Amino acid sequence: MYDEQLLSEVTLKAKQWLGEGYDDATKAEVERMLNNDDKTDLIESFYKNLEFGTGGLRGIMGAGSNRMNIYTVGMATQGLANYLKEAFKDLEQIKVIVGHDVRNNSRLFAETVANIFSANGIKVYLFEGPRPTPEVSYAIRLLGCQSGVNITASHNPKEYNGYKAYWDDGAQVVSPHDVNIIDNVNRIQDVSEIKFEGNPDLIEIVGENIDAQYIEQIHTLSLSPDIDKRQHDLKIVYTPIHGVGRDIVPRSIMRWGFDNIIHIPEQDVMSGDFPTVVQPNPEMRSAMEMAIAKAEEVQADIALASDPDADRISVVFKNNKGEYDLVNGNQIQLIFHYYLITRNAELGRLNRDRDYIVKTIVTSETISRIAKKQGIKLYDCYTGFKWIATVMRDLEGTSARYLGGGEESYGFLPEDFCRDKDSVSSIPLMCEIAAWAKDRGQTMNEMLIELYKTYGYSKERGISVVRTGKSGAEEIVAMMKNFRENPMKEIDGSPVVLIKDFQLLEQKDLKTGKVEKIDMPTTSNVLQYYTEDGTKVSIRPSGTEPKIKFYIEVHDVNWDGNDYDAKNDWGDAKLDRIAHDLGIA
């Protein structure tokens, strides 16, 4: 049974896609949906316009206003081009870089974007083939571009594609440009307004010249080149999970001096169908099964993966039981920050007056303890690398030195010449950390235990509740509303002592009743609970996927370092109980 008014509206909207300006394949797909007795596809494809948000577009590919296709991509690009010509009207020549991943239709969409920019008089550097998302960010700064676009849906399932827009600092757009771009995109009401016919004279193909400079600059991040040479035969398993990291990540690893890279041939195949995995998300164990199996087969020191657009990193090493296990995103962040701070201190390079690190508000508070104990400035920001990049931009040109920044969702950035999470630099750095630990007679797991013993034990779990379609979006809104209007009073028996609401930019101390303002650049739909025993629960809807995310972390700051397995069991049991309390177990 369908809502008759909604069905009437989407039918009228769909019929407009049968008119002039749309290609025959699109018209045929729309006709199929209109003639189908089951109207689900029709409604999902047309009940709204695919929204150009602050990060760009992301959606299922297909015909329709709520799908990724050359027309929704075209409207986004025409709107962005219009705004660029307004924002940089005094420049003689506006320049942009355009890249794409390996997904189906990614090259088509990238060429569509390049044609539209060039048709609007904008100079376009178009990558010759698939490239990492962070390399697009790097190229913006290298080539002095005013903007950039990367066609990618990151680690989403194969049905998806996306459109990431960047500004002249190499970061994804933030205020006021994000809102202004959205306004310009929303003004495009008809495909006739899109300039699809490109100007070849304004499109320049780029590739290896940028790759080589990128890899060389990444190598300058090495803190232990002598150790890398000594441990050159470190056993490293690497998989790109069918993505763009296939060629450039091994090149980057080898530039650091490591020459024992073990591949998984089946996953070295670049394919938008991601044939060996259900979903190419390196956060999921299922996507890492082949890497874990290969690590067991060769008894690797470490196994690593990048996601399809090579911005995220996944790490596997032996746990306390001698089994290869997936390291969670918070532990990846802990390891990076621990090494960068510790190694800089060993080398006499740590400057506590100017060095700083960045994390997101949903990432482990153990990083805060590391920063505090080491006297390093820590900046907490919203989820998403555009906010980490905002901190970097605000401090650029000052004496402050960026050491690293990341978020629990498996993204880290160890450099300042790029402004998005970067596996091409993070993976060789993680190899160096493994070499550093081995040089000191430690496994990676023993190093992690040492970290917890020094700074306190923590365990984290992310749980995503997926709710698809129109009804799912409404359910997510209702869930957030309920958590705000009926706040939890205790979690796993421990009283809630502090609630932070980033939509209101207010925090309330439940012991004193005192309400204070939160100093953040803008509002965000995030709610956090802090308990008396150190538990932290963060809740937010995803900005790119149809899900609501729960981030749970538990702590024992006084752990003595003994019986790590028992402590992990304690953490797992506590996380299970909290998930039950939240109603998401």
- Which residues are catalytically annotated? 154
Quote the CA–CA distance of 427 and 560 in Å, as a whole number: 31
Amino acid (1-letter code) at residue 1: M
Which residue, 536, 419, 473, is CA-closest to 134?
Answer: 419
Cis peptide, bond prior to residue 541, ω within 30 of zero: no
Quote the CA–CA distance of 189 and 312 in Å, as a whole number: 35
> Apex CA 570: angle with CA 455 and CA 491, to 5°?
90
Say what the alpha-carbon torsion angle 543, 274, 461, 467 is, to the nearest 10 degrees.
50
The DSSP string of 180-228 is: HHHHHHHT--SGGGS--S--GGGEEEE-HHHHHHHHHHHHTT-S-HHHH
Quote the CA–CA distance of 347 and 349 in Å, as a whole number: 5
DSSP E strands in 64-212: the ranges are: 95-100, 123-127, 147-151, 160-167, 203-206
| Beta pairing partners, 134 | none
Quote the CA–CA distance of 95 and 118 in Å, as a whole number: 10
Quote the CA–CA distance of 138 and 125 in Å, as a whole number: 13
Tokens matching residue 335: 């390891």
Quote the CA–CA distance of 397 and 452 in Å, as a whole number: 35
Quote the CA–CA distance of 15 and 10 in Å, as a whole number: 9
Amino acid (1-letter code) at residue 579: A
Quote the CA–CA distance of 362 and 315 in Å, as a whole number: 20
Q: For residue 28, what are the contacts with CB-CB under 8 A and spacing of at least 6?
A: none
List the alpha helices (DSSP H) in 272-349.
285-298, 329-346
Task: Give the sign of the dihedral formed by CA 33, CA 37, CA 43, CA 44.
Answer: negative
Quote the CA–CA distance of 525 and 504 in Å, as a whole number: 9
Which residue, 127, 128, 111, 130, is CA-closest to 119?
Answer: 111
Which residue, 447, 443, 452, 458, is CA-closest to 562?
Answer: 452
Say if residue 274 is exposed, middle or buried (CB neighbours under 10 Å; 0-12, 13-18, 19+): buried
| Beta pairing partners, 402 | 356
